[in-house]
A and B are shown apart, each in its own frame.
Chain A
């Protein structure tokens, strides 16, 4: 995984991936909400911060969809980000 990701892009991918489960309204705000909670305000996000962000989203999702489904959803986000990042 590369060192930095575009924060807006990460938020979009999170929203797109979890929208079928949580609906468009919540999906659109989830990434941003978790970024704010973690103090991620920059335009780019480091690999370490991405891990923290996805862990935070996963913890939040487990309450609604259970642990396994939350892990699967976050893995999907990670895969999507990696594939978009690939040359």
Chain B
């Protein structure tokens, strides 16, 4: 088994283990096992550690990718922004985990939310740059290549956001909470539009290593966006019993993002 295959197995096992550990809480959360052994605090600690480990790997290895793109290489700033984005996500997750573990009722929004939004902004900038660079270098490089998927995703997500944000905007909640709950889906929608666009571009690379890198990264971004959007909606609606689903989505997202970054790094050893 190659090093890459072993890493695939480790990440797959991690993702399955987290799902197997967290999701049964939805159905048998009242059982003695979940009240005594795997209580909410234990789930919080395990979830936080896994998320932090994945984000740490993603940020560190994204940083190791940057020097492989020499100054003047148009892709270098995209990888630098991705490194900063994952680094910011790591600090945001660390802040959130600390608040959740030390305070009985952590504030929302908190400094962690500001950091999460900043991190998403950095990733948006990174993907936007990647789209620009890849379109310019694509064998069929033309604006038409990306306009159709980008416009389709934009229209679908705008309609979805309109449907999603109406109850959030009209919810009886403090203004900062509403602002944060609106900002997450809006930022994530922009990220998703860029992810769909990149997917269209990299479709031509299917079967190659580059395709594997971007497919894995984009799957991570999709889980991240779905998790964020679900969080904004469910927290506004007071449906906190569905939190395990979001925890699993975030862990899967961070694991896929870390694996995607490692795939890119493996390219340099070829």
Contacts and interface: CB of A to CB of B under 8 A. Distances in A.
B207 A67 contact: no
Main secondary structure of the interface of A (DSSP, over half): helix
B137 A23 contact: no
B139 A33 contact: yes
A5 interface: no
Interface residues of B, number: 22
A29 B139 contact: yes
A21 B270 contact: yes
A67 B70 contact: yes
A25 B140 CA distance: 12
Interface in B202-217: 204-211
B75 interface: yes
Contacts of A63: 73-75, 133-134, 137
A60 B141 CA distance: 12
Interface in B189-233: 204-211
A57 to B, nearest CB: 11
B41 interface: no
B65 A23 contact: no
Nearest to B70: A67
Contacts of A65: 68, 210, 267-268
A29 B206 CA distance: 14
B207 A24 contact: yes
B69 interface: yes
